[in-house]
Amino acid sequence: MGVRGVPTTRHQREDGMTHRTIARSLLAATVLLAAGAEAQGQAAAPNQIQQASLFRADVRDRPGCEPTAANGTVTWPEAIGNPAVSCPDAFGWTSFLTAVEQAFWTWGTDQTIWIDDPKAICGREGSPADCCDPAVFDETPPLGEAPPAGCPYYPPDWTNPPPIIVARPSPSHTHDFLERLDPARVLRQEEAEIVFRNRPFVRYTLAQNLYNKESLGARFTAMQDWVNVNAPYNNAALAIDYPTDAVMFKVDFLSQSLMLENGLIRGEDDGGRTLDPPNNPDAPYVTMLIEETLAPGDEEPELYYLVAVTAASKAIPTWHWYAIEHVGNLGRCDFTGCNDAYGYSAAGVTVDGESFGQNYIPPKTENSEDATLDIVFDLGTPYTPEETGERITPALDGLMAAMGIGTGDGPQDPDTPSAADPAWRSYRLKASQTEFVTATGMPTHAGQSITEGGFVNSASCMTCHSQAGPDATGNPGVPGIGATNDLNLFGLSQTVNGAPDPDWFHATGTNQMRVLPMDMVWGMLNASCVAPKGKTGLCETYEGAQFSPPGRPHAAPSAPARATSGRPAR
């Protein structure tokens, strides 16, 4: 058992006096020597990891970022014109707490939006009688017991929606070296990821006919045809632009069996009392019963534990992004550190009696154990409050109390999350992101240890999601989903970061489109055809009014222009 009930990994429990212990002893001696030098007026210079971390330790909230809450509404000071830009960390916390307050676990998911066997949209010329009617969102819920098959729906609008279905990746990285050096990567291969999306998001996706491959492909072609005839004038009706109140809320869960296997929870507290269900008594996890999974051989309902969140709010054109981690996640601040200027203050540093850097927890380091005595990352261990000095700020404490988050004695029902569950106080902001690069041109990074396990050091939510969008077939126009040809030391692919590459979207020096930007929504990967063309991944046709985007039809382009439109061969 680790510090204060935060469990250790299996190799940490079994190795005893390991090489890590020896390395830390050497490092401690080095630190003592440095302290002696500093006492004599010779301050120790930052090592290379500390120097590189400077570019990730910036204070992102401006002064005056002090939101308040009353009657379910968050209010910002008048001086804060756009809190998502001026107060990205505080805005991340308010977005997270608002989603909890609104019971995000009841929202729409990828499976309720991009239906496996979709129907065409209603209200268009040639639409079949059995179709999806966007006008349903104008009616007052409840709309009935169960939503119609084949159409996007928002579960709270119905009294008896289908159960949540989880798509879980198959374990593929179980090598011993990964378990020792990057346990988060191992957990990434075993986690159940659910992307929850609020009602404005679901409504827009249906109304704009973005839920099937035919419509995505037809929209690409319509935009290319427009450009061929009408450049330089844009057609906003063909662009994809989600409403400013849309929210994407991606949650990583681990099953109870995996949590126990990896030592993240236990069945008894420190006094030997049984925990039912098992949990971490010092930093409990939020739990939820998931009734169905897509994991072969694991169809029985099981209790799942919330380990991390990556979310985005369309408060700015490129969305406001933030990552949340459970405090007990192994390696949660590895590689990039953890940066939070609002919710939790860390130890920081005191210089001449003045405190600095309480927003940042640097990644752990250790001695390389060779003749060079290089300082290297110390990976895969807990970042406990005793080590980091983390304490909840009065501002966040008051905000949670005002919103009724984490104010109870415990979960009323472990099968269903509740806003009052004190387990919400076990979660920490890892990072927020609102720009591709800093004012000095440094690429920004944001990624939590589970979703981005194995490539946290290169992760950028914004850059990866900027690639999202269909080609003329309704499939991703930029293959690879953020991947690059650069590999880390394990041989795992790294990801794109920094400013997007224009060549992703248009053939160099032309208006020839390669992808129609999907407003950073990778959920389109789940889109299916209304009429599939066998198992080719293509649809029978992309033509017809039932697949066309909303807006007034434009004049057909000339034959030469259509030849370069990117329309798929039929």
For 480-489, write each residue's pLDDT tens digit.
888 888 887 6
Q: What's the pLDDT score for residue 123?
A: 83
The pTM (predicted TM-score) of the whole model is 0.86
Q: How confident is the model at residue 3 (pLDDT cuts 50, 70, 90)?
A: very low
Count of CB atoms situated within 10 Å of the CB of 413 = 11
- Residues 417-448: pLDDT tens digits? 999 999 999 999 999 999 999 999 999 999 88
More confident position, 326 or 21: 326
Which of 65-69, 359-363, 456-460, 526-530 has the least mean pLDDT? 456-460
Count of CB atoms situated within 10 Å of the CB of 414 = 21
Residue whose C-alpha is closest to residue 222's, from 232, 236, 211: 236
The SS3 of residue 304 is strand
Strands (E), 47-199: 68-70, 73-75, 108-109, 165-166, 192-197
Four-point Cα dihedral 398, 403, 405, 407, nearest 10:
70
Burial of 281 (0-12, 13-18, 19+ CB in 10 A): middle
At position 513, the amino acid (one-letter code) is: M
Burial 329-352 (b: 16+ CB within 10 A, else e): bbbbbbbbbbbbbbbbbbbbeeee
- The token pair at 284 is 């409990």
Q: How confident is the model at residue 169 (pLDDT cuts 50, 70, 90)?
A: very low
CA angle, residues 155, 311, 388, in degrees to nearest 5: 135
Q: Determine the Cα–Cα distance for residues 49 and 334; give it in Å rounded to an integer.
A: 11
| Mean predicted lDDT score pLDDT of the chain | 85
More confident position, 165 or 464: 464
Q: What's the pLDDT score for residue 454?
A: 74
Indicate whether 20 pLDDT > 90: no
Q: How confident is the model at residue 39 (pLDDT cuts 50, 70, 90)?
A: very low
More confident position, 193 or 565: 193
Q: Determine the Cα–Cα distance for residues 233 and 227; give it in Å rounded to an integer.
A: 8
More confident position, 373 or 233: 233
- The token pair at 440 is 């000095």
Q: What's the pLDDT score for residue 134?
A: 95
Contact of 209 with 278, CB cutoff 8 Å? no
